[in-house]
Chain A
Amino acid sequence: MNDFALEFIKISKSFPGVQALKEVSIQIRQAGVHAIVGENGAGKSTLMKIAVGELLRDAGIIKVFGQEAQISSPSDGYRYGISLIHQEFSLVPSLDVAQNIFLGRELTKGRIPFMDNRYMYERTERILESLKMFHLDPHLKIKDLTVAQKQVVEIAKALSLNSKIIIMDEPSAALTLEETHRLFEVIRELKDNEVTVLFISHRIEEIFEIADQVSILRDGELILTKSVSQIDRNQVISNMVGRSLEFVFPPKAKQKKDGKVILEAKNISKERQFSDISFQLKEGEIIGLAGLVGSGRSEVALTLFGLSQLDSGGIYLQGEKANINSPFEAIKQGLALLPEDRRELGLVIVRSVLENLALPALYWDIARKYFINLKREIYLGKEVQKELSIRFASFSQKAESLSGGNQQKVVVGKWLITKPKILIMDEPTRGIDVGAKLEIYNIVNTLAQRGIGIIFISSEFSEILGIAHRILVMSEGRITAELDPKNSTEEDILKFATRKKVS
Chain B
Amino acid sequence: MNNFRFKNVVRQYGILIGLIGLIAVFSILSERFFTISNMLIVMRQTSIVAFLGIGMTFVILGAGIDLSVGSVLAFSGAVAAGVIQNGGVFLGILAGLALGAALGAFSGLVITKLRIPAFIATLAMMAIARGGTLVYTDGRPITGLPSSFAFLGRGYIGNIPFPIILMLAIFIFAYIILKLTRFGRYVYATGGNINAARASGIKVDNIIISNFAISGSLSALTGIVLASRLNSAQPTAGMGYELDAIAAVVLGGTNLFGGEGELWGTLVGAFIMGILNNGLNMLNVSSFYQQVVKGIVILIAVTVAQSGKK
* Interface residues in chain A, defined as those with a beta carbon under 8 Å from any beta carbon in chain B: 16-17, 305, 307, 326-328, 330-332, 337, 339, 344-351, 355, 358-360, 362-363, 367, 370-372, 374, 414
Which residues from A are CB-within-8-Å of B1?
16-17
Inter-chain contact A355/B199, CB cutoff 8 Å? no
Pairs A–B under 8 Å by Cβ, sample size 23: A16-B4, A17-B1, A307-B199, A327-B200, A328-B203, A344-B195, A347-B193, A348-B189, A349-B193, A350-B192, A350-B255, A350-B260, A351-B189, A351-B259, A355-B188, A359-B189, A359-B202, A360-B200, A362-B182, A363-B182, A363-B201, A372-B182, A414-B200
B198 on the A face (CB < 8 A)? yes
Inter-chain contact A327/B201, CB cutoff 8 Å? yes
Mask for B194-212, Cβ within 8 A of A = 1, else 0?
0111111111000000000
Which residues from B are CB-within-8-Å of A347?
193, 196
Which residues from B are CB-within-8-Å of A374?
180
B185 on the A face (CB < 8 A)? yes
Inter-chain contact A355/B193, CB cutoff 8 Å? no
Mask for B175-186, Cβ within 8 A of A = 1, else 0?
000001111011
Given A16-B1, A355-B189, A350 contacting B259 (CB threshold 8 A): yes
- Chain B residues with a Cβ closer than 8 Å to the other chain, count: 24
Which residues from A are CB-within-8-Å of B201?
326-328, 330-332, 360, 363
* Bound complex: CA A28 to CA B255 (Å): 43
**Which residue of the partner chain B has the closest CB to A339?**
B199
Chain B contact surface mostly: helix
Given A327-B201, A371-B180, A359 contacting B195 (CB threshold 8 A): no
* Interface residues in chain B, defined as those with a beta carbon under 8 Å from any beta carbon in chain A: 1, 4, 180-183, 185-186, 188-189, 192-193, 195-203, 255, 259-260
Inter-chain contact A337/B188, CB cutoff 8 Å? no
> What would 4 more interface pairs be, CB under 8 Å, given A345-B196, A358-B185?
A307-B198, A350-B260, A351-B259, A351-B260
Q: Which of A17, A349, A359 has the most CB of B within 10 A?
A: A359
* Bound complex: CA A307 to CA B194 (Å): 13
Given A16-B1, A327-B198, A327-B200, A348 contacting B182 (CB threshold 8 A): no
**Which of A326, A351, A370 is close to B181, meaning CB atoms less than 8 Å apart?**
A370
Inter-chain contact A348/B203, CB cutoff 8 Å? no
* Bound complex: CA A349 to CA B260 (Å): 11
**Which of B4, B181, B196 is close to A348, meaning CB atoms less than 8 Å apart?**
B196
**Which of A326, A351, A358 is close to B192, meaning CB atoms less than 8 Å apart?**
A351
**Which residue of the partner chain A has the closest CB to B190?**
A348
**Which of B185, B196, B199, B260 is close to A362, meaning CB atoms less than 8 Å apart?**
B185
**Which residue of the partner chain A has the closest CB to B188?**
A351
Which residues from A are CB-within-8-Å of B193?
344, 347-350
* Bound complex: CA A17 to CA B8 (Å): 15
**Which residue of the partner chain B has the closest CB to A411?**
B196
Q: Which of B189, B193, B200 has the most CB of A within 10 A?
A: B200
* Bound complex: CA A152 to CA B188 (Å): 38
Which residues from B are CB-within-8-Å of A350?
192-193, 255, 259-260
Which residues from A are CB-within-8-Å of B183?
370
* Bound complex: CA A330 to CA B193 (Å): 20
Distance from B9 Cβ to chain A, minimum over Cβ atoms (Å): 15
**Which residue of the partner chain B has the closest CB to A337?**
B199
**Which of A307, A346, A367 is close to B185, meaning CB atoms less than 8 Å apart?**
A367
Q: Which 5 A-B pairs have the closest CB atoms?
A: A367-B182, A348-B192, A331-B201, A360-B200, A348-B193
Distance from A322 Cβ to chain B, minimum over Cβ atoms (Å): 15
Distance from A397 Cβ to chain B, minimum over Cβ atoms (Å): 14
* Bound complex: CA A360 to CA B198 (Å): 10
Which residues from B are CB-within-8-Å of A349?
192-193
Inter-chain contact A371/B196, CB cutoff 8 Å? no
* Bound complex: CA A307 to CA B198 (Å): 8
**Which residue of the partner chain A has the closest CB to B257?**
A350
Which residues from B are CB-within-8-Å of A367?
181-182, 185
Inter-chain contact A305/B199, CB cutoff 8 Å? yes
Given A328-B203, A355-B189, A346 contacting B181 (CB threshold 8 A): no
* Bound complex: CA A374 to CA B198 (Å): 23
* Bound complex: CA A489 to CA B185 (Å): 47
Which residues from A are CB-within-8-Å of B185?
355, 358-359, 362, 367, 372
Q: Which of B1, B188, B201, B260 has the most CB of A within 10 A?
A: B201
Distance from B255 Cβ to chain A, minimum over Cβ atoms (Å): 8
Inter-chain contact A348/B197, CB cutoff 8 Å? yes
**Which residue of the partner chain A has the closest CB to B184?**
A372
* Bound complex: CA A414 to CA B196 (Å): 12
* Bound complex: CA A123 to CA B198 (Å): 45
**Which residue of the partner chain A has the closest CB to B255?**
A350
Inter-chain contact B199/A346, CB cutoff 8 Å? yes
* Bound complex: CA A326 to CA B202 (Å): 9
Which residues from A are CB-within-8-Å of B199?
305, 307, 327, 337, 339, 345-346
Which residues from A are CB-within-8-Å of B181?
367, 370-372
* Bound complex: CA A331 to CA B203 (Å): 12
Q: Which of A16, A305, A348 has the most CB of B within 10 A?
A: A348
Distance from A426 Cβ to chain B, minimum over Cβ atoms (Å): 11
**Which residue of the partner chain A has the closest CB to B198?**
A327
* Bound complex: CA A328 to CA B189 (Å): 15
Which residues from B are CB-within-8-Å of A362?
182, 185-186
Given A350-B259, A370-B182, A359 contacting B198 (CB threshold 8 A): no
Which residues from B are CB-within-8-Å of A330?
201
**Which residue of the partner chain B has the closest CB to A331?**
B201
Distance from B183 Cβ to chain A, minimum over Cβ atoms (Å): 7
Which residues from B are CB-within-8-Å of A17?
1
Which residues from A are CB-within-8-Å of B186?
362
**Which residue of the partner chain B has the closest CB to A328?**
B201
* Bound complex: CA A371 to CA B180 (Å): 6
* Bound complex: CA A123 to CA B189 (Å): 46
Distance from A419 Cβ to chain B, minimum over Cβ atoms (Å): 14
* Bound complex: CA A151 to CA B255 (Å): 32
Distance from B57 Cβ to chain A, minimum over Cβ atoms (Å): 16
* Bound complex: CA A500 to CA B192 (Å): 41
Which residues from A are CB-within-8-Å of B203?
326, 328
Q: Which of A17, A332, A350 has the most CB of B within 10 A?
A: A350
* Bound complex: CA A370 to CA B192 (Å): 21
Distance from B191 Cβ to chain A, minimum over Cβ atoms (Å): 9
Which residues from A are CB-within-8-Å of B200?
327, 331, 359-360, 414
Distance from B28 Cβ to chain A, minimum over Cβ atoms (Å): 37
